[in-house]
Amino acid sequence: MNFDFNDEQGAIRDAARDMLAARYPLEEVRRLAIEDERGFTDDQWDELVSLGWPGIFVDEAHGGQGLGIVELVILQEQMGHALAPSPFFSNACAGLVLRAAGSEEQQERWLAPLARGEVRGTLATLDDAEPVAADGGKLRGAKAAVPDAASVDFLIVAADGRHWVLAAGDDGVEIEPTAGIDPTRKLYRVGLDGAEAEHLGGDPEAAADAYAAAATALAAESVGVAQRALEMAVEYAKERKQFETPIGAFQAVSHRCAQMLLEVEGARSATYYAAWALDHEPASAALAASMAKAYASDAGFRVPAAAIQVHGGIGFTWEHDLHWFLKRGTANAHAFGDARWHRARVADLAGI
């Protein structure tokens, strides 16, 4: 059995890493996080659209590339490696739910333009102090920590056990910025006061597959974050000297780096297995996705935290870039279920 990427997947990975490294040097990541209200530029988004990334997992009949979750996960890992501030993931979450649970008409109206990069969407799941309730075709309440809500054209809202789609600019929709752990991913509170919405007309049970895919994609981003932090730590351990010896030669440092490598590779293996299962073995996809998210949630913040320790005093400073990776990894660990929640789900699914 061949566990490596095929030629097309390898080309996607290499092209994504090269392009993202060129577009998102860490000084640009810092600038966007601090100075840009949305956290990204239209030119940066338009380049992703020109490459067909928004529709990479969408079938060709709806304007996508006709690939799968494995290819989405490849892109997400590279986005994490670059720490790219981009609405790519939030947009993909909306697309995954539409693909899984939207009616044919809704997919044509919302998913196809999303795949072509003509519109952007986001997914709102976490209730604020006022839980969202559906009254006929109107939504009332509020959602918290909705990523990129101020720059989207439509929202997919979870309410009353269903999913609803509504235009972001309609009456009754109020979007306010809120602070988050990770300044590179902008979060918003979305208030809904009688906002007109339409429930997704496909199979509501299929939305579970979309959430498994979203959790796996976020796990892949955490793998990329951890990989980059590991690379920074190893490079520093080779260059920094004490007693005329690189600090990487000391066991206290080399063992820490080895543990970081173990966690990165374990998280990567679990994540790509989950992506493969989502594409080819749906019966085991839910279990595989929770395994991946649980492992990658821990690795995504533990590896950057260990990398900061390898850097010593300089690693704790605002001027150093490692804290951005720690913040992204920590925020990712809590989104779409934290490690504890997913480990409990693994136990339930495994019948333990």
Same domain, 27 and 85: yes
Q: Which pLDDT tens digit goes with each residue over 198-216?
A: 999 888 788 999 999 999 9
Check residue 352 and give its pLDDT. 85
Query: Which residues constitute the domain of residue 30?
Result: 7-116
Same domain, 146 and 216: no
Instruction: Decide: 227 and 82 in contact? Cβ < 8 Å.
Output: no
User: What CA–CA distances, in Å, run from 275 to 12, 15, 280, 289?
Assistant: 16, 20, 9, 8
Same domain, 213 and 331: yes
Assign residue 310 the CATH number of its domain.
1.20.140.10
Instruction: Decide: 171 and 162 in contact? Cβ < 8 Å.
Output: no
Mean pLDDT of 305-324: 91
Across the chain, what does the average pLDDT equal? 93
Same domain, 110 and 140: no
Mean pLDDT of 267-290: 96
Check residue 245 and give its pLDDT. 81
CA distance 134 to 139: 5
In-domain check, residue 40: yes
| Domain's final residue, options 83, 98, 116 | 116
| Domain's final residue, options 203, 222, 246 | 203
Check residue 1 and give its pLDDT. 45
In-domain check, residue 342: yes
Assign residue 197 the CATH number of its domain.
2.40.110.10
Same domain, 235 and 198: no
Q: Which pLDDT tens digit goes with each residue over 54-106?
A: 999 999 999 999 999 999 999 999 999 999 999 999 999 999 999 999 999 99
Check residue 344 and give its pLDDT. 97
Q: Which pLDDT tens digit goes with each residue over 43-62?
A: 999 999 999 999 999 999 99
Same domain, 182 and 298: no
Same domain, 219 and 141: no
Q: Give the side-chain half-sphere CA count within 13 A for 43.
A: 2
CA distance 76 to 221: 5
In-domain check, residue 48: yes
